[in-house]
């Protein structure tokens, strides 16, 4: 592989929700955790599961299933929490995302990624940065700053117990 080919590749942490595979830019992922107890936050948005303690820091945890409008599912031994850093509305948030499972880090070249489709997708396409293709598989690549809107950022930091935790 040439240096130019390596330079155009991007790496994504791939995760599963139901039967779909999604990609999150590897540079946004801080940690991948086993499922753990989550402190519920009253009056929080439906997709905000609650808070976890990560080495003395309170991290808001969001359920990707709920955020994407999918039915809830109980945690299993493969359920993981991806701790990510995402820029939303001139703020940098550290969030946990609950996923059914995490697969691998996948490198995709620019030629392996298509623009998001206009139709035929169960989720709003503005959340999607592109669709990757590798070995006959599709990977839906999230645009994290659009997946979590300005309203989400306000709701997350405004939840009663959460406002104290992230302050």
Query: Mind listing the pLDDT tens digit for each residue in 117-130?
Result: 766 555 556 788 89
| 3 lies in some domain | no
Q: Count the domains in the chain.
A: 1
DSSP letter, residue 123: S
Contact 86, 148 (CB under 8 A): yes
Contact 29, 83 (CB under 8 A): yes
| 2 lies in some domain | no
Band of residue 42 on the pLDDT scale cut at 50, 70, 90 = confident
Contact 2, 12 (CB under 8 A): no
| 39 lies in some domain | yes
| 143 lies in some domain | yes
Residue 80: which of 125, 13, 135 has the closest Cα?
A: 13
Query: What mean pLDDT, rounded, does the chain reach?
Result: 83
Parent domain of 46: 10-166
123 alpha-carbon distance from chain centroid: 14
pLDDT at 135 over 90: no
| 131 lies in some domain | yes
Res 149: pLDDT:
67
Band of residue 155 on the pLDDT scale cut at 50, 70, 90 = low
Question: Residue 117 sits in a domain of what CATH number?
Answer: 2.40.50.180
Contact 142, 128 (CB under 8 A): yes
Antiparallel, parallel or unpaired: β 137-142 and 20-25: parallel
pLDDT at 88 over 90: no
| 47 lies in some domain | yes
Band of residue 115 on the pLDDT scale cut at 50, 70, 90 = confident
Determine the Cα–Cα distance for residues 62 and 99; give it in Å rounded to an integer.
9
| 5 lies in some domain | no
pTM of the model: 0.82
Measure Cα distances from 120 to 28, 30, 78 in Å. 28, 32, 28
Cβ atoms within 10 Å of 134's Cβ, excluding its own: 17
Query: Angle at Cα 116 formed by Cα 113 and Cα 122, nearest 5°?
Result: 125
| 1 lies in some domain | no
82 CB-contact burial (10 Å; exposed 0-12 / middle 13-18 / buried 19+): buried
Return the minimum-mean-pLDDT range out of 32-36, 52-56, 99-103, 126-130. 126-130
């Amino acid at each position: 592989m040439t240096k130019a080919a390596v330079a155009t590749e991007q790496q994504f942490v791939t995760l599963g929700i139901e039967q779909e595979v999604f990609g999150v830019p590897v540079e946004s992922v801080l940690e991948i955790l086993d499922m753990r107890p989550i402190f519920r936050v009253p009056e929080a948005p439906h997709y905000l599961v609650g808070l976890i303690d990560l080495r003395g820091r309170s991290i808001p945890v969001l359920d990707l299933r709920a955020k994407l409008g999918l039915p809830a599912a109980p945690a299993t031994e493969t359920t993981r929490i991806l701790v990510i850093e995402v820029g939303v509305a001139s703020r940098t948030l550290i969030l946990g995302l609950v996923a059914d499972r995490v697969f691998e880090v996948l490198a995709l070249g620019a030629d392996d990624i298509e623009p998001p489709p206009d139709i035929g997708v169960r989720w709003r396409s503005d959340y999607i940065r592109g669709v990757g293709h590798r070995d006959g598989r599709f990977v839906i690549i999230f645009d994290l700053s659009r997946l979590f809107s300005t309203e989400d950022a306000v709701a997350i930091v405004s939840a009663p117990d959460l406002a104290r935790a992230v302050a």
